[in-house]
Structure 1
Amino acid sequence: MNICVFLSAADLDERYTAPAREFAGLLGKAGHTLVWGGSDTGLMKVVADGVQEAGGRLVGVSVDFLAAKARPDADEMTITEDLAERKALLLAKSDAIVVMVGGTGTLDEATEILELKKHAKHTKPVVVLNTAGFYDGLRTQFQRMEDEGFLPRPLADLAFFAEDGRTALTYLESEIAAR
């Protein structure tokens, strides 16, 4: 399975890197391919290292203004002209999506993917990996959106919130197997 992971390229605390490393190892050991933003820095590097060390493949999609930070030993690397093209390629190259901790770029990617799913522009499973409760506030906001009629589909149809990597991967594998 090609699993797109949206996540930060920042150097982060161990409370985020340790679970990310564990999740990456699970992906690689299961023979899955990481599809990610291609950066060889911060949490993106932690996950790419973990997948590669565990035997998984790396498919990166970077953008021209970040090309200098692209991982040199990825199995495949594409450099796009802009962020919109990058997001479209990340979605096109993946079977499933995982949203890990991140900043505004990660949030932008996550909300676009969910918006596209809301409008049936893709049917790929989406997991929000809620490491250390990072996305508790977002889950509350999404639930409010559903409760107050802003989402035409139930939140559960758009995204699955997982508290750990094993739960996230089990969910994705079962969703893909059911298709």
Structure 2
Amino acid sequence: MTDLAALRVPALEQVNIRSVCVFCGSSSGRLPEYAEAAKLLGEYLAANSIQLVYGGGSAGIMGTVAKAVHNNGGKVLGIIPRALLAYSGAKIGETIEVDDMHTRKQLMNEHSDAFITLPGGLGTLEEFFETATWSQLNIHAKPILVLDTAGYYAPIRNWFMAAASSGFVSPGNANIAAFSSTVPELMTSLATYSVTHGRGALGDLAWSGKAGELQKHNGVVPVARDQVSADVRSVWPGEQADQVPPPPDSSASTDKLPAGLLASEGYTAASQS
């Protein structure tokens, strides 16, 4: 049994995070570091009394993180489409069976206070980007974290910077996900995450239908346009995005980029070309 007392994060006691959704692969990957990090994350979640919400089953590092939470006395909630039951392995903890992927993701959102992405494939990336998009569109304001084990997500970190540099993502939304290289660093980030300013540029969106129901469930209140700060208004649709960094083929130095866009080590002006 893991020494859970050593894994407690005092800062988490100051925030209202009781349940975390983890997106990750149903495969284990080729490096042992992937499963090792997933196991440690599960132990941290159990140590801090945080329920795991995930895609269900025992396959891959999805199963690794779920077993680590369950084996250390933590709560586990798996949400899985019935079509995937035959491929998911043994159930761990509580399982909710649903009809389709859309319902699965909606319930994951409803049952979670934050989102963590571990290494995974197409499904993992689809879940991550949809969650980030929902935050950008003001459907939720929950922490979005990425565990960049062994540099697996370096290309995604660089993509965010390239998208901002090219004018397709606002500087604030380029930092909508907090990347961490280690589990302890990620847990600290979970306690200190704050919604980026750029996200507020779409803060006046009041959704109807299912998106509106999620918005109300998440307690997200639309922000009046005149309440948004000047630096955020500069990237509103139809206005000049004067805070957007130079495009990738620019020779401008990286000191012109907004704070936070240089999170990936080794990123230089030369690497933009």
TM-score of the pair, normalised by structure 2: 0.61
User: Take 2:92 and 2:64, find their aligned partners in 1: how far apart are those partners?
Assistant: 14
Quick one: percent identity of the two aligned structures?
30
| 1:70 to partner: Cα distance | 5.6
Distance in 2 (CA, whole Å) between partners of 1:118 and 1:107 is 16
Picking from 111, 116, 119, the partner of 1:101 is 119
Q: Give the 3-state SS of the residue equivalent to 1:98 in structure 2.
A: strand
Supply the distance in 1 between the matched residues of 2:153 and 2:173 (Cα, whole angstroms): 14
Misfit runs of 4+, over 3 Å: none
Q: 1:11 aligns with which of 28, 41, 49?
A: 28
How many residues are treated as equivalent by the alignment? 175
Secondary structure of 1:102 counterpart: coil
Give, in whole Å, the separation in 2 of the partners of 1:115 and 1:62. 22
More displaced stretch, 36-45 vs 63-72: 63-72
Out of 77, 80, 85, which is 1:67 matched to?
85
Aligned to 1:167: 185
- Paired residues for 1:1-179 under 5 Å: 1-12=18-29, 13-68=31-86, 69=88, 71-74=90-93, 76-152=94-170, 154-155=172-173, 157-175=175-193
- Deviation per CA, 1:113-165, whole angstroms, max 9, x where unpaired? 01111111110000011000000001101111112221235245411001111
C-alpha separation in 1, matches of 2:152 and 2:175: 21
| Contact 2:58–2:92 (Cα < 8 Å) also in 1 | no
Q: Give the number of the structure whose residues are more often strand, by fraction.
A: 1
CA distance in 2, matches of 1:157, 1:135: 14
Instruction: Supply the AA of the counterpart residue of 2:68.
Output: G
Measured after TM superposition, the shift of residue 71 of structure 1 is 4.1
**Higher alpha-carbon Rg:** 2
Are the equivalent residues in 1 in contact too, given 2:25–2:120 (CA < 8 A)?
yes
Q: CA–CA distance in 2 between the matches of 1:73 and 1:15?
A: 22
List gaps (5 residues or longer) in structure 2.
Answer: 1-17, 195-273
Instruction: Supply the distance in 2 between the matched residues of 1:71 and 1:172 (Cα, whole angstroms).
Output: 29
Alignment root-mean-square deviation, CA: 1.6
Could you tell me how far apart the structure 1 residues matched to 2:51 and 2:57 are?
16
CA distance 1:48–1:7, shift in 2 (3 Å): same
Task: Measure how far apart 1:42 and its partner are.
Answer: 1.2
Gaps of 5+ in 1: none
